[in-house]
Amino acid sequence: MSVKTNLDTMRADYVLVRRWWKDAEGWTEAELAEADRGVRRVVERKDAELIACWAAWLATLAEDIRRFESTVRGAEARMRAAVAAERKRA
């Protein structure tokens, strides 16, 4: 895998994880800015091994978030379907 492909994937995962940190975990703008600087420093160092470590960590977090959000969407869909079925019976 090329470093560029790695960075593209890492960036996409970071966007998702950063949104989660802000919206779900309530990180402050200062905390988010610190995380932004940390990721930027890793990329600027151009250390392929360190980038790979960060990319793998972010990929794991992003996948956990995707799975959780998918579970929530599934539960919401089942609840909507149950309400709709209940209304039809009423």
pLDDT at 4: 59
**Full 3-state SS string of 61-73:** HHHHHHHHHHHHH
Is pLDDT at 90 greater than 60 in this prediction? yes
pLDDT in tens, 26-84: 999 999 999 999 999 999 999 899 999 999 999 999 999 999 999 999 999 999 999 99
Distance set, CA 18 to CA 22, 52, 58, 63 (Å):
6, 18, 10, 13
pLDDT at 6: 85
> How far apart (Å, rounded) are the C-alpha atoms in residues 90 and 88?
5
Full-model pTM = 0.81
pLDDT-based confidence at 1, cuts 50/70/90? very low
Is pLDDT at 3 greater than 60 in this prediction? no
